[in-house]
Chain A
Amino acid sequence: MTTTAAPLDVETIRKDFPILGRTVRDGRRLVYLDSGATSQRPRQVLDAERSFLETSNAAVHRGAHQLAEEATDAYEHARERIGEFVGVSAGELVFTKNATEGINLVAYSMGNAATAGPESARFAIREGDEIVVTEMEHHANLVPWQQLCQRTGAKLRWFGVTEDGRLDLSDLDKLVNERTRVVAVSHQSNVLGTVNPPEPIVRRAREVGALTLLDACQSVPHSPVNFAELGVDFAVFSGHKMLGPSGIGVLYGRRDLLESMPPFLTGGSMIEQVFMEYSTFAPPPQRFEAGVPMTSQAVGLGAAVDYLSVVGTDRIAEHEHALTDAAIRGLGEISGVRVVGPTEVESRGGAVSFVLDGVHPHDASQVLDSLGVAVRVGHHCAWPLHRRFGVPATVRASLYLYNDLSDITALLDGVREAKRFFGVG
């Protein structure tokens, strides 16, 4: 990778995150290495939410009073900025509770297509159809498709994962075939850190007329991502993993698809006309936003993408790249540590999962916690992937723009301390 941007001023960035100033477990400095689960939020995001609630709070897309106007403007303005951030237009973004709901929305809408009008025919899933996922999916991009298959009689198939943690695309043309209706793939593994190449998958899916969905939860927060350039049909990401609030996720759907896709959740806000016998539906994105939506969360996410844009996702990616390299090399020098995932940092993000001979991940993380180092432990909602690598659980350190080399040093020291404490090596 060529270095083009100036390095991050982490010290200044950290001042924007009040929580990073606290101590944990008897006065230890907090070393937060769990941003893959949820990121911390800068003052700018907290202030934006608070300011909105103190000045303009109202239910959006209903009411004609001044606050309702201001709230609707703030909500839609956030949608525009978030759209720009991922290279698509605002009308192609649907706000959901989280990314999981976004994937379920597509899966259930497709399930509903069989009984919707002829304009939805292309979404219908029938017995004999196939849906393709990967063995490295987060449960959120696996279970909804398993369930859709169960409801429709379609067959679930998946790409395997190579020993070094890369997606095995060697049977791409066979797996994605004329029976395939959907290919749902993670952009960046939340466990392995692997960045998957959407291009060949999108190309093959188009050849056979299958739809693509990209789980971009772990890529959008950490690197420049442009859905239009990638050419995917759908994509999801979540607010709380990118410095924004929890309770908001985003579904991107290509305009022509959202316009012909039947709704999932129905009720207020998403209608065009309602009679006692039947209803017609609003155009997207409102068609997919039933009920009074989350508003301060949307405003907060708008502020989060502003923050990320000012810092620069290209610079964040380079920063994490350097830290990931240091973490992988440092772990490699500790005997008994096995990194689960690519040890080459090319096409790899900042999630570093590992196991330690003779120390269960739960126990290792307890030692790390006692030193103030917050990591995730378990299967990280990717149980089949852990089974693939023959481990019940891993310890995962995941990085973000506010981490620096001292955090990596703390992690490595903690791993050595875990070995010492449990009398291993």
Chain B
Amino acid sequence: MQLESMYQEIILDHYKNPHRRGLRDPFDGESFQVNPTCGDEVTLRVKLDGDTVTDVSYEGQGCSISQASTSVLTDLVVGHTLSEANTTMEAFVELMQGRGQVEPDEDVLDDGIAFAGVAKYPARVKCALLGWMAFKDAVAKVDQGVGTS
């Protein structure tokens, strides 16, 4: 059935038990993103130690796809360098924009491969990318000194 191809167990698990949820201080960059078609929103903060992402914290409201995707994001980038995080993000964006034609690399995306089914539903791709856009923007804002640390 199609529903299960979109709502993989991994996604439902992250939705029901999100990782690293909540906003924490200190942080180095923060971003607020909203999906204007559905009103979903996320505020996301990044904490860096040199070039390494040491924490990602977030708060927001949204569907299971956007919430689970943000939870998975934190697993994939925390403890990694910005360069590694960027590579992962590019792979995830490519997967989501692939209309179901892109074969995901589990070594790079880990739990993120569960979103392959979502890519077949164009209306939901934005949901899956909401947190990632916030991460990208928050990192860009680190240089502008908007953080508290």
Known pairs A362-B65, A366-B6; list 19 more (Cβ under 8 Å): A360-B62, A360-B64, A361-B63, A362-B63, A362-B64, A362-B124, A362-B127, A363-B64, A363-B65, A366-B121, A370-B2, A383-B39, A386-B39, A392-B38, A392-B40, A392-B62, A393-B38, A393-B39, A421-B7
| Residue B41, interface by CB 8 Å | yes
Q: By the criterion CB–CB under 8 Å, are A378 and B6 in contact? A: no
Q: Which residues of A contact B7 (CB under 8 A)?
A: 363, 366, 421
A-B contact pairs, 18 of them (CB 8 A): A25-B2, A362-B64, A362-B124, A363-B7, A366-B6, A366-B7, A367-B3, A378-B37, A378-B38, A379-B38, A392-B38, A392-B39, A392-B40, A392-B41, A392-B62, A393-B38, A422-B12, A422-B64
Other-chain residue from A370, A383, A392 in contact with B3 (beta carbon distance below 8 A): A370
Q: By the criterion CB–CB under 8 Å, are A366 and B124 in contact? A: yes
Measured in the bound complex, the distance between the Cα atoms of B127 and A363 in whole Å is 11
Taking the nearest CB of chain A, how far is it from the CB of B136, in angstroms? 22
Q: Which residues of A contact B1 (CB under 8 A)?
A: 370
Q: Which residues of A contact B12 (CB under 8 A)?
A: 422
Bitwise interface map of A from 377 to 403 toward B, beta carbon under 8 Å scored 1, else 0: 111000100100000110000000000
Taking the nearest CB of chain B, how far is it from the CB of A331, in angstroms? 20
Q: By the criterion CB–CB under 8 Å, are B3 and A366 in contact? A: yes
Q: Which residues of B contact A378 (CB under 8 A)?
A: 37-39
| Residue B101, interface by CB 8 Å | no
Please tell me the number of chain B residues within 8 Å of chain A, measured between CB atoms. Answer: 19
Measured in the bound complex, the distance between the Cα atoms of B125 and A409 in whole Å is 30
Q: Which residues of B contact A333 (CB under 8 A)?
A: none
Measured in the bound complex, the distance between the Cα atoms of B7 and A378 in whole Å is 19
Measured in the bound complex, the distance between the Cα atoms of B127 and A55 in whole Å is 47
| Residue A26, interface by CB 8 Å | yes
Please name the 10 residue pairs, one residue from A and one from B, whose CB atoms are nearest each other, closest first.
A362-B63, A360-B63, A378-B38, A392-B39, A370-B3, A379-B39, A393-B39, A363-B64, A392-B61, A363-B63
B 1-23 contacts with A by CB, 8 A = 1-3, 6-7, 12
Taking the nearest CB of chain B, how far is it from the CB of A167, in angstroms? 23
Taking the nearest CB of chain A, how far is it from the CB of B11, in angstroms? 10
Other-chain residue from B6, B40, B64, B65 in contact with A393 (beta carbon distance below 8 A): B40
Q: Which residue of A lies closest to B35 (CB)?
A: A378
Given that A362-B124, A363-B63, A392-B61 are known contacts, is A26 also in contact with B2, CB under 8 Å in the complex?
yes
